[in-house]
């Protein structure tokens, strides 16, 4: 158990991708008073990201509710990044319990305790995008394409209906985040991650063919956002007082600019100093009916809240990411 300490920030999913980058960003601000929450008791993936970061202590996710009841007076805020992020998951009970019910428990605790609550929603809530990607529109019209997106949507809708809420709350609809500390995600890791390793191993990149009219092979377009930028937007909303310009609610976190997968692959080749060699392969059957061909965040609401930091274009973000991956390889040799 974590010992009592003043002004602690709870970060769930702290051993995962965005969560570990949140911890790293807090460390960069000089903060190590962080309680890292994750599936420590039954974890099968490694916790190497936490080993290189400074934290106050850890709590297993299954023990967090009890810990908050006992030690919550010392908590300053909760940043909830923990989730089942597998977009191919089919176990409805498991995904809803983890992504919807668990988030509800944290919301209710933060409401009772009067603590700020920032949590990860997802651009997957927008489904096929026919309703657009506007975080100011009525989210009840959205139809996610997979169970992951549905579980996030269920919580978003529940949160918006609550008469009692944390003093500051924000649900972050992250678009296609890529960057350091995602190696453990396997198949769910970003295309940038897979492209880097494919180029290193074979000299070429494999991308999905298009199975939709109007999109060329590799012409599927996504809003790719570098994880460092996504984290800064997250901390901005945590830090910014509630106002008419920065209300509680849902916020898109993306660049506002869609780019093709082919663009992303070429950026990886350029960062490695190689000529592009792209091979197009059929999309797996289990993805075709639940695949987003276009995402592009409307970020007016985020900008209005005072977040003026420019988002890195993929050429810049990929260059930084490739340098990180190369440094990781060098350190393991």
Alpha-carbon span 205 to 262, nearest angstrom: 9
Given a contact cutoff of 8 angstroms between Cβ atoms, the answer to whether 268 and 218 are in contact is no
Alpha-carbon span 99 to 107, nearest angstrom: 12
Q: Is-catalytic flag, 185?
A: yes
Placement of tokens 């197009």 in the chain: 280
Would you state the structure tokens that stand for residue 303, as one six-digit string? 């900008």
52-57 LR contacts (CB < 8 Å, sep 24+): 53/20, 53/23, 53/24, 53/27, 54/27, 55/14, 55/23, 56/2, 56/5, 56/8, 56/32, 57/1, 57/2, 57/3
185, 215, 280, 324: the catalytic one is: 185
Given a contact cutoff of 8 angstroms between Cβ atoms, the answer to whether 114 and 49 are in contact is no
49, 148, 178, 251: the catalytic one is: 148
Q: Is-catalytic flag, 61?
A: no
Given a contact cutoff of 8 angstroms between Cβ atoms, the answer to whether 278 and 204 are in contact is yes
Alpha-carbon span 149 to 281, nearest angstrom: 25
Selection from 253, 124, 255, 264 nearest residue 193 by Cα: 264
Strand, coil or helix: 208: strand
- Torsion sign (Cα): 17, 11, 81, 28: negative
Alpha-carbon span 235 to 80, nearest angstrom: 12
Would you state the structure tokens that stand for residue 146, as one six-digit string? 């997979």
Work out the angle between the directed axes of helices 64-71 and 102-113 (0-180°, nearest 10): 10
Instruction: Please list the active-site residues.
Output: 148, 185
């Amino acid at each position: 158990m974590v010992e009592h300490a003043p002004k602690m920030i709870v970060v769930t999913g702290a051993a995962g991708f965005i969560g570990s980058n949140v911890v790293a960003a807090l460390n960069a601000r000089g903060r190590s008073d962080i309680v890292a929450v994750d599936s420590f008791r039954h974890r099968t993936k490694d916790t190497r990201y936490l080993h290189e970061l400074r934290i106050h202590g850890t709590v297993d996710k299954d023990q967090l509710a009890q810990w908050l009841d006992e030690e919550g007076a010392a908590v300053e805020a909760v940043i909830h990044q923990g989730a089942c992020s597998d977009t191919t998951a089919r176990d409805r009970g498991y995904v809803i319990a983890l992504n919807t019910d668990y988030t509800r428990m944290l919301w209710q605790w933060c409401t009772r305790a009067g603590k700020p609550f920032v949590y990860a929603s997802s651009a997957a809530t927008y489904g096929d995008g026919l309703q657009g990607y506007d975080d100011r529109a009525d989210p009840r019209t959205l139809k996610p394409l997979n169970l992951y997106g549905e579980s996030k949507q269920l919580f978003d809708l529940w949160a918006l209906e609550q008469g009692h809420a944390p003093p500051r709350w924000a649900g972050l609809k992250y678009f296609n985040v890529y960057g350091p500390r995602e190696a453990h995600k396997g198949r769910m890791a970003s295309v940038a991650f897979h492209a880097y390793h494919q180029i290193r191993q074979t000299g070429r990149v494999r991308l999905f063919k298009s199975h939709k009219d109007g999109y060329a092979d590799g012409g599927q377009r996504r809003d790719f956002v570098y994880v460092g930028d996504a984290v800064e937007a997250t901390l901005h909303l945590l830090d910014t007082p509630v106002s008419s310009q920065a209300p509680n609610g849902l916020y898109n976190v993306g660049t506002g600019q869609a780019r093709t997968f082919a663009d992303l692959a070429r950026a990886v080749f350029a960062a490695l100093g190689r000529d592009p060699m792209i091979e197009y392969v059929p999309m797996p059957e289990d993805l075709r009916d639940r695949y987003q061909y276009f995402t592009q965040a409307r970020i007016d609401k985020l900008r209005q809240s005072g977040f003026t930091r420019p988002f890195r274009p993929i050429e810049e973000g990929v260059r930084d990411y490739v340098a990180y991956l190369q440094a990781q390889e060098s350190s393991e040799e």
